[in-house]
Structure 1
Amino acid sequence: MPRSPLPPREGISATALRAPGGKATHAKNHLPVPDSIGEWLETEFPEAAPESRRALLTEGDMRDEEGHPVTWDDPVIPGGFYFFHRPVPPEERIPFEVGIVFEDDDLLVVDKPHFLASTPNGRFVRECVVTRLRVDFDQPDLVAIHRLDRITAGLLVLSKRPETRGRYQRLFQDRRVTKTYRALAPLPPEDMESPLLRRSRLIKPVGGRQVLEVEGEPNAISRIRLVRTVTPTRGDTEAARPPRRGESDVSPHDRTGEDKEGPPRGGEEIAEYVLEPITGKTHQLRVHMNALGLPILGDPVYPVDVGPDPYDFTSPLQLLAAEIAFDDPLTGLRRRFKSALELDPAAVSSESGETR
């Protein structure tokens, strides 16, 4: 896909839409080419009001891939790309801030808080790291070059310059990046070896949130090592938990630190683990820990998908992207970044009287 001729607006990238027809292979190249842009938009967005479709050309500043403005009656370029800014409604703010770990001309490394998405996704377009930082730093070209789940906290690497982005992205694609996570989960049985390698085949069924372990050749490998036992102390539950919707903002740094008092976890001892994903499948660490009978504290999907309200901040997932290391493709020097965040056993809700 060609680069958008439209710069981001309020930190939000323009939407790309490909026309039917053309000689290149794509999902719509077999469809008939409409006579005009207007006719095409009517088939693409049949449920939209007529004025909303026309607004894509005016308020959305619709352009072809060469950057030329288009009109309602212009002919459609078969198989061509068109770009426009779609309307994005306001979003309730996620009350946690992004921490800056490192910055140079090419990279921005940040500490992503729990509950804030890394990139625009679904209901969160404005409330994500990329959109926020594009606006805050006036850096329209910022792009996250790897994934970090919305409910996972820790290190996220962003590229500032398109000219060097591909070389850094290749590091992640070729698995030349060492990523180390830390997690809190139930204490393992005495006979569990540590460290251990968990190898399994993971699939994500269409329409489901849970990733499943199935029979077959492994496609996911994780190294898991027990570090220590953590015993939360009894304290003020209300002071320990993050805010619920409508309550005052709380910085994630106000909730970190393992010396903080918190509620007991249903009488169970918990432990801290170091997790190293050798591969990079969706939810891999969470699935592997759950499969061992050690679901990570605060996980709303494993072992049971509880369908949480995304604005319920009472039980942050105790999974932290703690370290990232790689050889810089531009200088050859070793880069190692460490998160300033900490796991917090006191932050996990115990309203149900048990560890999730």
Structure 2
Amino acid sequence: MKMILKNAREQKGFKTREVAQLLEIDQALISKFESGTRKPTREQIIKLASLLDIDFENLLIVWLKEKIIHEIGHEELALKALHLAEIEIQNIKKADTSIILSTLQNVLDEIEILKTKIQSFQQFELHRISKILELEFTYESNRINDNSLTLQETKAVINEGLTIGGKTMREHLEAVNHHETISYIKDLTQKNSVVNEKEILTIHNQILRGIKPEHAGKYKSDSLIIREMSSFFSWFETNKSTLHPILLASEAHLKIMTISPFESGNIQIAHLLMNWILIQNGYVFATIQGDNEHKNEYFSILAESQNKNDKSIFINYVARIEKDNLQRAIQLVSQ
């Protein structure tokens, strides 16, 4: 690691004192990091990776490796101990997922029954349900972001291209952009396109088109954000085939809101990504209502899950929302 840090610093043209000043770390510590006589903390690793444009995930892996070697590298049975530690780490990860699933299992079972019932409907019924739920998803999602268009006004703007008196251009564009983005996501789903950075940035660009073009389709100007999003996509690739879709969609939403990679549109992207994953797996939109009561509940649960570092809080919430929307879809057929 010492050579990684030194080479990166020299490539950036920084002196050790400049790095120390920028990171508010003692200059002597920087020199010790580069000589290998002192190891940085995890917080210092994050700062160094950001400042020196080092891949955060790779640097963290090297840092962890050196911590392990320092602790047990000279032990005769180190390799056997590492093998057992690897097995235990994997078991811990499985156990965490199992605990979440066990508390959710009844709801997940109910969701699967509802999902199966919807899949038994005739094609024309599914098409009608889809159109209604898409409109409601656009309306409620924009309401969360303080758009004042009513449901009927949103429908008129989307379907008839009308301009509503007393409403801003931004509000009209939010309705049109969101509706067109849903169509784009449905097209990606039909093509079995994978969730990746290119598509997320394209979706973000569509959402902010004509509203905040200077921010559309771009992350914040922060190298740490790029590293965190790279880690996010690595996490997604690792878990997309093993996690239950409800868990995967919920965690993806939670991670995007925690990273907050965009100057504007983080809530919209988190919602759209979550629902893209759900649609890919045969579910309906998990639409969160945008009135004050439900909006406050959403932000409260999101904050609680983040503050307690307990993803199960948010996952349970999303599962409940999905169940409610599946029941709503079934009710539409009988109307």
Structure with greater proportional helix content: 2
Structure-1-length-normalised TM-score: 0.24
Relative contact order higher in (CA < 8 Å, ≥ 6 apart): 2
Structure with greater proportional strand content: 1
